[in-house]
Structure 1
């Protein structure tokens, strides 16, 4: 396919005929997740900017438009305008709120303004990571249960946070395989793991229903596209893959270094893929 290279004042990206883009050289600093907001029709990129364990208040969130242009590199920035943001990871946009996992608490910012609204501490949490909407309202959030060096610390967990900020522990176990991406689908919670390379299925009361072992580990982002297909990323496979019960995962996009927490542009059926190590974001069209 013929590829056009366009240089922009805010950075550069590659553009193909089907609108696949790579946003790079724009100032991203350890981008861990990308989230799409239907309300604003914009992409939000969580930048750790240092250690994923560091409470250094220098994390930031970038604002992109669907053309791949950076409208504001530091739309929300730790240490500025009353914002505290250390090492932002998973995010989810629900209406006029953006929920952001930040080590041991979930922070909520307003959309489209980016003003800090609320923070919900999660006692005993060590590495809050994946976030997804809950059908009962609010969000589900995972704790990967790791400490410096990504060594397990026995704090693997799934929590629920209500729209009012009330915290409930759904699952807390010594070994869930280091939880990461999470998705509610068909009255189940699907959760992928970093260490064990599994997809766990829970009911909405926290009972483990079953688990599938993937052929690789270091699983990260987990989303559902507009057709209901489940998509996840794997650092080990260096790929973004499509998967359903009883079938082997199918690679959609390969040769990707450190593909982290995925987002979905539901208006255009695009997957949004941050490269944790390479400070870039891939925007890739999905097949209908």
Structure 2
């Protein structure tokens, strides 16, 4: 469930931090989390950094703001499906210093943020998935904008933007309320469920609980938690299976461009690398 921005200044060092943060969410709610930055071999200088005991509470995702060169960390701070008004977003410097623990604070007057998960930036707007709504904030000031709430949504999860500023986001669903994958055009006010070229709608139990999403010029990539699958939706609307089904409980996914993809697995607490040739390590 998350969006990342490669590479240094903060680039490849952060790619695994966000994925590793996702893997930590199977711990007890409220337990202090650890985020570890580890570069892929050959992707940059050998460097590691662990952020521990800094106040994070159920950190769900991380996003690099390329313009400000700062990392944003979404903290659920409680139950991932509970509207408790105490979620927050932290700002972290490239060197690992938490400059503002609660830069956006759901407990602050005028701010609504319950259990933030996926994030994406388009121009000067930060989009954040939050249970059944997409919250909007100013990228620099954190000022809240008008929110977008979806009737019937139960567990909005990951969020990704295209170069044109369109959004894709996942609803992982809950028991009795199967999930779906949505598309929101930049110029639209109402999102639509993604429909394949053959008319199949990406929704329902057969979708397997969509979690991580990532979009680039090659199309949309979806990782599912329930069915442990990874698939690609081409720009022509064709679904191509990349992996699974499995018991891996897939979570975040991010493109490494010509180097392939990274994705995380709750099932075995591992970050995997799908190389360009298809090998998985």
How would you bin the TM-score normalised by the shorter chain? 0.7 to 0.9
The equivalent residue for 2:18 is none
Counterparts of 1:145-224 in structure 2, within 5 Å, are 145-146=173-174, 152-164=175-187, 165-170=189-194, 171-204=202-235, 207-213=238-244, 216-224=247-255
Distance 1:141 1:62 in 2: 21
- Give, in angstroms, the shift of residue 215 of structure 1: 5.6
Distance 2:65 2:85 in 1: 24
SS at structure 1 position matched to 2:207: coil
Which of 56, 62, 80 is equivalent to 1:28? Answer: 56
- Give, in angstroms, the shift of residue 13 of structure 1: 9.0
**Is 1:113 equivalent to 2:141 in the alignment?**
yes
- Structure 2, gaps ≥5 residues long: 1-33, 39-44, 195-201
Q: Deviations over 1:92-134 (max 9, x none)?
A: 1233121100000111111111111121111211100011113
Aligned CA distance change for structure 1 residues 83 and 91 (closer, same or farther; 3 Å) = same
Which of 267, 271, 278 is equivalent to 1:236? Answer: 267
**Is 1:37 equivalent to 2:65 in the alignment?**
yes
Q: Are the counterparts in 2 of residues 63 and 73 from structure 1 also a CA contact under 8 Å?
A: yes
Q: TM-score, normalised by structure 1?
A: 0.74
- Give, in angstroms, the shift of residue 190 of structure 1: 1.0
Q: Deviations over 1:65-117 (max 9, x none)?
A: 00000000000000314110000011112331211000001111111111111
The equivalent residue for 1:48 is 76
More helix by share: 2
Query: RMSD across aligned C-alpha pairs, in angstroms?
Result: 2.4
Distance 1:83 1:132 in 2: 23
Q: Comparing 85-94 with 12-21, which one deviates more in the overlay?
A: 12-21
- Structure 1, gaps ≥5 residues long: 1-11, 147-151, 251-288
